[in-house]
């Protein structure tokens, strides 16, 4: 996203001059968490879910959680006068000298407002398998922390703009997610999605989808998923907070039409806008 | 370390004004590698080993490696006029907009010179066991990348200044290393150190120790090590580039004298100064 506005620790800054000291622990160790949110029609979609995951990350990493009212106020100031965009919030453990040990320091809060990525030409997207594996660690699973080398390396595997996303396995060979999305497969009439107990980010859109499925009376299991199961799927989609639900039409040799249940979910999601 | 000097992309900057843009990928994703080096008597110890590991990290993470001559020249300028200190070099993938995908950008090079940490009062140090586990991923094992949340959380486990270091297991229960050091155990006359095939940082001091052991005719095995083996050790030490070899005198209920072989290694190491 090109940056439209930025705010550091509660103060608007010129986007070109939005800088942090090299001793910020976000820079030193990726010692922080972030959220990427969709601004649509002047409001943030799934705001409460973003807030909740942010706080779960703070608890897990022993980071100081933001004050809720202040956080909401900063966000309101950031998006004031904007209808659509992508908002990124980063919280780091603040400044410290060299050394892993966390010291008591004010957290760094960075807000960024950017433009919405251009929509894709086709409604359905093409995926690939990534060779890069995700490590397993329940400590870090589910939360959106700033240690993202595995996703970076995975995305460096391909350069073909026709491929929108890559699916990743963990080091034990279980399916986890896309590099920047969660994945759902319809297998014998039941939706299946990886349970993320060891790896991956528990997307706020994933959570919203589980809610939509309940509303629409679709069954869904969150469980360990093996990559061979993809071949049994009659529908597949990926989802994230920025792009919502994206039907998958191809992965390696496999092809799918855009399925009826996926369309129902997309319709239900746009109905709630 | 308190900062004495800083250099960004080849230019000295005031340490208070050593800042990077919030879109630097080091800040966004921990997308980089670093080296922490000991300046002693006006020269960097183990410089070639640091250079080699840095380059291994760049290859593994598909980062643009620095030009060797330029890198050496920057380092010389940084330490000019200083006798002792700790030098930290960070290389990140540079600036990019939001999104994991690496784009072609000039890497960010950050040099920092800081003071040497105060020596410990006692020659031997006390360790503890950390509850925080290290994830396994051969992609990231061995190199000194900037995704260090596991080490940060591990160090947040204790606050007792009498405990100098914590030992970490991986998620499968194998011994890996200290939070900021490698570990060696003398078991039935043979030195043993974890092989780091799945996790951990392959320390330049660890490598130097393996060389010292060869010189002194000590046998050493780099292999999978289980934590119960610690109870069989007759000597133990940890090592890193900043503090060299540190004999371990206690870990949980276990106590050791500073062993004869450990002392020989320490003497040999100081002899090479």
Structure tokens at A114: 């950017």
ipTM for this prediction: 0.96
Task: Grade residue B194 by pLDDT with cuts at 50, 70 and 90.
Answer: very high
Q: How many Cα neighbours within 13 Å face the side chain of B106?
A: 7
Among A63, A147, A199, the strongest candidate for a mutation testing the B interface, having the largest count of B CBs within 10 A, is A147
Indicate left, alpha or beta for A79 from its phi (over 0: left) and psi (-120 to 50: alpha): alpha
Q: What is the 3-state secondary structure (H, E, C) of chain A?
A: CCEEEEEECCEEECHHHCEEECCEHHHHHCCEEEEEEEEECCEECCHHHHHHHHHHHHHHHCCCCCCHHHHHHHHHHHHCCCCCEEEEEEEECCECCCCCCCCCCCCEEEEEEECCCCCCCCCCEEEEECCCCECCCCCCCECCECCCHHHHHHHCCCCCCCEEEEEEEECCCCEEEECCCEEEEEECCEEEEECCCCCCECCHHHHHHHHHHHHCCCCEEEECECHHHHHHEEEEEEEECCCEEEEEEEECCEECCCCHHHHHHHHHHHHCC
pLDDT at A222: 98
pLDDT at B1: 61
In the predicted structure, residue A121 carries a pLDDT above the cut 90: no
CA nearest to A261, candidates A192, A178, A167: A192
In this prediction, residues A54-79 reach a mean pLDDT of: 98
pLDDT at A242: 97
Among B14, B18, B20, B29, the strongest candidate for a mutation testing the A interface, having the largest count of A CBs within 10 A, is B29
Nearest CA in chain A to B153: A61
pLDDT, tens only, B231-244:
999 999 999 999 99
- Considering only CB atoms, B20 lies closest to which of A22, A30, A93, namely A22
pLDDT at B119: 85
- Considering only CB atoms, B100 lies closest to which of A90, A92, A179, namely A179
In the predicted structure, residue B129 carries a pLDDT above the cut 90: yes
CB distance A152 to A205 below 8 Å: no
- Considering only CB atoms, B19 lies closest to which of A21, A26, A88, namely A21
CA nearest to B35, candidates A102, A28, A151: A28
Do B114 and A135 count as a contact with CB atoms less than 8 A apart? no
pLDDT at A273: 73
Do B36 and A98 count as a contact with CB atoms less than 8 A apart? yes
Task: Grade residue A1 by pLDDT with cuts at 50, 70 and 90.
Answer: low
CA nearest to A44, candidates A16, A70, A72, A3: A72
pLDDT at A207: 98
Neighbours of B145 (CB within 10 A): 23
Q: What average pLDDT does the structure give for chain A? A: 96
Do A31 and B149 count as a contact with CB atoms less than 8 A apart? yes
Record the pTM. Answer: 0.97
Give CA B157 to chain center in angstroms: 19
Do A27 and B29 count as a contact with CB atoms less than 8 A apart? no
Chain A residues inside the 8 Å CB shell of B151: 29, 100
> pLDDT exceeding 70 applies to what percent of chain B?
100
Structure tokens at A133: 């594996």
């Amino acid at each position: 996203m090109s940056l439209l506005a930025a705010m550091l620790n509660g103060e608007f800054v010129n986007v070109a001059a939005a800088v942090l000291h090299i001793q910020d622990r976000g820079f030193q160790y990726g010692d922080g968490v972030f959220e990427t949110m969709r601004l649509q029609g002047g409001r943030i979609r799934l705001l409460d879910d973003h807030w909740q995951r942010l706080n779960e990350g703070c608890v897990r990493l022993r980071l100081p959680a933001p004050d809720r009212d202040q956080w909401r106020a900063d966000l309101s100031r950031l998006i004031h006068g904007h209808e659509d965009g992508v908002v990124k919030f980063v919280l780091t453990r603040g400044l410290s000298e060299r050394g892993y040990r966390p010291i008591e320091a004010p957290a760094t809060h960075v807000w960024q407002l950017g433009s919405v990525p251009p929509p894709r030409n086709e409604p359905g997207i093409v995926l690939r398998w990534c060779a890069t594996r995700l490590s397993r660690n329940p400590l870090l699973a589910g939360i959106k922390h700033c240690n993202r080398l595995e996703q970076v390396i995975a995305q460096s595997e391909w350069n073909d703009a026709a491929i929108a996303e890559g699916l990743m396995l963990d080091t034990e060979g279980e399916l986890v997610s896309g590099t920047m999305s969660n994945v759902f497969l319809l297998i014998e009439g039941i939706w299946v999605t990886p349970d993320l107990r060891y790896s991956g980010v528990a997307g706020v859109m994933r959570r919203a989808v589980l809610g939509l499925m309940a509303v629409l009376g679709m069954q869904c299991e969150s469980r360990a998923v093996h990559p061979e199961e993809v071949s049994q799927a009659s529908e597949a989609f990926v989802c994230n907070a920025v792009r919502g639900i994206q039907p998958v039409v191809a992965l390696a040799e496999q092809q799918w039409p855009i399925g009826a249940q996926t369309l129902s979910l997309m319709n239900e999601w746009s109905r709630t806008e």
